Amino acid sequence: MSLRIVIADDEPLLRRDLKEVLEDLGYRVVGEAKNGLEALKLIQRKTPDVAILDIKMPEMDGIQVARKISRQHPVVILTAFSERHLIDKAKEAGVMAYITKPFRVGDVSSAVELAVSLFMEKSALTERVATLKTQLETRKLVERAKGLMMENEGLSEPRAYRRLQEISMKKNKPIKDVAEAVIMMYG
């Protein structure tokens, strides 16, 4: 399956050339935009796999667009400007790759593949962190509930935990919900 790409640049000839290069590389260009605002709307409508954006465009620049979409889509910046402050701004906006004009075919392919790979890694890490946060939150609630049960019901720690498990199974509720209920009851 080929990647679906939206490109945004205010230069029509560059958009055409980039589209040809991308299609020759086996990618599908699902939309083209001439300014940042148009790009943002197009990306929201087409939900591409990758967005390739020029930095300096009318109405909204590529970095502003990247800031809004980089959590949902990998972003590649394609620009004639390679000043350090622009690269730093692009990084802060969540840009995954940066190509300077005039571009070479190999640069485009490498940047797209790198952006997708980094985005997938970042997404997996973000998901893992969210899972760990949930597990930690659950563990804290269960520990607090066990402590309250030990204090109020005179149970040992293993017995308090077993009681939480039994209630969880009997009520068909996650142990986190049971722990919250115990905390509310005794807290």
State residue 79's pLDDT score: 84
Q: Which residues pair with 4 in a beta bridge?
A: 28
State residue 133's pLDDT score: 92
Higher-pLDDT residue of 87 and 8 is: 8
Task: Choose which CATH entry (3.40.800.20, 3.20.10.10, 1.10.10.10, 3.90.1150.10) describes domain 129-186.
Answer: 1.10.10.10
Instruction: Give CATH for domain 4-103.
Output: 3.40.50.2300
**pLDDT digits 0-9 by tens, 49-75:** 999 999 989 899 999 999 999 989 999
State residue 1's pLDDT score: 60
**pLDDT digits 0-9 by tens, 128-175:** 888 899 999 999 999 999 999 999 999 999 999 999 999 999 999 999
Higher-pLDDT residue of 68 and 80 is: 68
| Boundaries of every domain in the chain | 4-103, 129-186
Give me the long-range contacts of 169-177 (CB less than 8 A, separation at least 24): 174/138, 175/138, 175/142, 176/137, 176/138, 176/141, 176/142
* Cα 30 to Cα 40: distance, rounded to the nearest angstrom: 14
Residue 23 — φ and ψ, nearest 5°?
A: -70, -35
* Cα 174 to Cα 179: distance, rounded to the nearest angstrom: 9
Q: Are 148 and 109 in contact (CB under 8 A)?
A: no
- Percent of all residues in the chain with a pLDDT value above 90, rounded to a whole number: 67
State residue 187's pLDDT score: 77
Q: And the tokens for 33?
A: 């935009």
State residue 4's pLDDT score: 94
Arithmetic mean of pLDDT over the chain: 91
Q: Which residues pair with 100 in a beta bridge?
A: 79
Higher-pLDDT residue of 187 and 160 is: 160
- Residue 98: which residues within 8 A CB-CB, separation 6 or more? 76, 77, 79, 82, 87, 90, 111
Neighbours of 176 (CB within 10 A): 19
- Percent of all residues in the chain with a pLDDT value above 70, rounded to a whole number: 99
State residue 18's pLDDT score: 93
Mean pLDDT of the 69-89 span:
88
* Cα 14 to Cα 127: distance, rounded to the nearest angstrom: 37
Higher-pLDDT residue of 125 and 182 is: 182
